[in-house]
Amino acid sequence: MEQNTNDEIEIDLLELFYVIKSRIWIILLTGILTAMATGLISNFCITPIYNSTTKLYILSKSTSLTNLNLSDLQLGTQLTQDYMVLVESRPVVTQVIDNLGLNMTYEQMISRLTIKNPSNTRILEITAAYPDPYMAKKIVDEFAKVSSNSIAKIMDTTEPAIVEEGFIQPSPASPNNMRNTLIGGLVGLFLAGTVVIVLHLMDDTIKDTEDVERYLGLNTLGLIPIESGAYKQAELDKKKRKRNQILGKKSAKTDTAKKGR
């Protein structure tokens, strides 16, 4: 019993494989069309975003580069976490917006800002995302200046040193047109394949003897073949008879008209 079940599952999978193979051109065409559509939308309908990053080096007031110990490193790491919070504080963000004359709210600026601290370092990375690459650089540079000044006053320590100023990114960080195109193509292939399989599984029409045994549970005793030549000849004979009938009616009308004269 178990062997029959396994054989039946294997036959079903093989049948699905042949169904997909017979409709492979539809699936490929759908994948190509969805990939093209996704690529066009990604390239022309989505606003490109550029990133720019500046880096600050955090030092406490009592720390020097020639005299570093474990306590200084731990203190610097703790200060870095505090500085990450201070950079996103409302006074610093508001000051940057005012200095650059941007028509943005605090929440809008924060949504474009990313602050990271690479592990085991005292480097603070400030990244701004903006549709204009030049403005993205101005934003991070202004954040570096305003936050360094504000941190030094609030923490009563030396200003963080600017390790790297913002740069103008030549290509947008998003959207990734190539990746979006590939994803769109794969989604199209998956959807087309799914539709083909679902339509096949929902089709319960009887096509051959195997379907009769499978769906009706009946054994077929034999087949009645239809010869294509005989079928075509029968159709031709039927059309010929109709044509003769039409010609006969026209001839009868003509004879009647002559007698009337």
Residues 93-135: tens digit of each pLDDT: 999 999 999 999 999 999 999 998 887 778 889 999 999 999 9
What is the rounded average pLDDT for all residues in the chain? 79
- Looking at residue 58, its pLDDT comes to 77
What is the reported pTM?
0.64
- Domain boundaries of the chain, sorted by first residue: 2-45+176-216, 50-164, 228-261
pLDDT tens digits, 27-85? 999 999 999 999 999 988 999 999 999 998 876 554 444 444 444 445 556 667 778 88
- Looking at residue 82, its pLDDT comes to 78
What's the whole-number mean pLDDT along residues 6-32?
78
If you write DSSP's letter for every residue of the chain in order, what string do you get?
-HHHHHHHHHHHHHHHHHHHHHTHHHHHHHHHHHHHHHHHHHHHTSPPBEEEEEEEE---TT-BTTB--HHHHHHHHHHHHHHHHHHTSHHHHHHHHHHHT----HHHHHHTEEEE--TT--EEEEEEEESSHHHHHHHHHHHHHHHHHHHHHHHTSPPPEEEE-----SS-SB--HHHHHHHHHHHHHHHHHHHHHHHHHH-----SHHHIIIII-----------HHHHHHHHHHHHHHHHHHHHHHHHHHHHHHHHH-
pLDDT tens digits, 198-213? 888 887 776 666 666 6
Does domain 50-164 fall under CATH 2.30.30.240? My reply is: no
